[in-house]
Structures are given as structure tokens and as C-alpha cells.
Amino acid sequence: MKQILIIEDDVAILRGLKDNLEYESFKVLTATDGEQGYCLIQEKKPDLIILDLMLPKMNGYELCRKVRKEGISIPILMLTARGEETDRIMGLDLGADDYLTKPFSMLELLARIRAIMRRIQKAKSGDFPKSLQFGSVFIDFKCFKARKGEKVLELSRKEFGVLRFLAAREGEAVTRNELLDEVWGYDQYPTTRTVDNHIASLRNKLEDDPSNPKHLITIHGVGYKIVLDE
């Protein structure tokens, strides 16, 4: 039975989520502040964390940053009342796997949870490469570490996800919708521009000349591919 930790300070929302997830046969742990949630993460090591952003004692951003800095890779689904794109991007860049903006339906929440679980199971099954190397770049997908030469690179979890999916299809053209479906876990996202922004960020971090990329290649009218050898 999969174990989900809900960290939410609104008691009514917390109770509703707990009841619905238990009905779906998940084992549910709960916390009402960030510090209590952090202790449960350390002690119980749940399979998934549902994390509200606006929490007492330690907010969701701080908690997400803390667990990722400690190398804890448990998937995180963020909940927020904020709808601004910058807030969503900040959460994803700190290491969240997905987000939902309140109010949301239980059907959508369950779909996101199942999508995350599928991705985790697929990664564990060995369908994806455990590492990637080209030029002076080395990516460790298991430990979420990256470097270029002696320089340690800071990549978001979504950037790791994009690279891993492209590496699994080395030399093949991958569409933006395939990346959205695989990395974000669903094929309906505000805009495929999200993929373009992540590719641009990766080029800036990995390519010697981002304006003339040798490894992260655009396939016009289709999407992208990764080339490991120039």
C-alpha cells in the first residue's frame, strides 16, 4: 500500500484529502505545519508528499528546498492558492514534481498522483538510463547530480526529467507533447512553451555555445533530440 504524507494547515482541506485518499486505498499520514511534516518525512519516508505552500513554522518552499538539499528524492505535489506563473515555476525549480492550484477537484488530484507514481515506477523498472555523459558534462539521474568539468551544476527536477527522457530516446526526435506527458505527467499543460523554456535553460547550463547547440538539438516543427557525439 502506497503511503502519502499530506502537509496542510487547513483542517477542513486536510480531513477531506485524507478521507478521499484512504477511500482510494492509500495509507495517509498528516501534518499541519512544516516542521512536523519534515519530521514525518525523516521518520516515515512516505511514497509521495502533498505539500501546501502557506504553512506555519516552515513554509512549503522552505521545506521543499530543505529536503532536496538533503538528497531526499520523494516526489512532491505542491498545493497553492496562488495562481501566478512565477510561484509555480519557483516551486518546480526548488524540486517539486507537480503542482495544483486551489480550488481543485479530487479527480484531478488523483490523476496527478497516479501520473507521478507511474513515472516513479517506470524509472525503477530500468527503462531510463541511470547517467548521461557528453563532452565534459556528466549527469547522475539516480542522485540528481550534475557537473560540467569541475563545475557543479544546479538543475531542477524537471530539467533532470527532460534530459533523462531525451537520453532514453538518444538520436530520436521527441515531440513537445511527449515531453509534457512523460516529464510533467499529463498532456494538458498551459503551453508547450514550458518545454522550450526548459530546453533553453539546459542549453545555457550544458552547451559550450548555447546559441549554437551541439547536443540539445531543435527539430523544427517536431520538437527536440539529444546528440551525445558531435
User: pTM here?
Assistant: 0.61
Helix (H, G, I), strand (E, B) or coil at 87: helix
Encoded amino acid at 142, one letter: K
What mean pLDDT do residues 77-92 have? 72
> And the C-alpha cell for 112?
496527478
Residues 117 and 142 in one domain: no
More confident residue, 219 or 189: 219
Which are the contacts of 160, defined by CB distance < 8 A and separation ≥ 6? 139, 141, 144, 146
* Reported confidence tier of residue 188, pLDDT bands at 50, 70, 90: very low
Residues 97 and 184 in one domain: no
Residues 107 and 160 in one domain: no
Least confident range from 1-10, 79-88, 103-112: namely 79-88
CATH of residue 85: 3.40.50.2300
pLDDT digits (tens, 9 = 90+) for 36-84: 999 999 999 999 999 998 899 999 889 998 988 888 888 899 887 766 6
One DSSP character per residue, 30-57 reads EESSHHHHHHHHHHH--SEEEEESS-SS
How far are the Cα atoms of 33, 52, 94 from residue 65, in angstroms, in the given order? Answer: 15, 14, 6
| Predicted pLDDT of residue 190 | 47
Other beta carbons within 10 angstroms of residue 111's beta carbon come to: 13
Domain that holds residue 200: 131-226
More confident residue, 224 or 125: 224
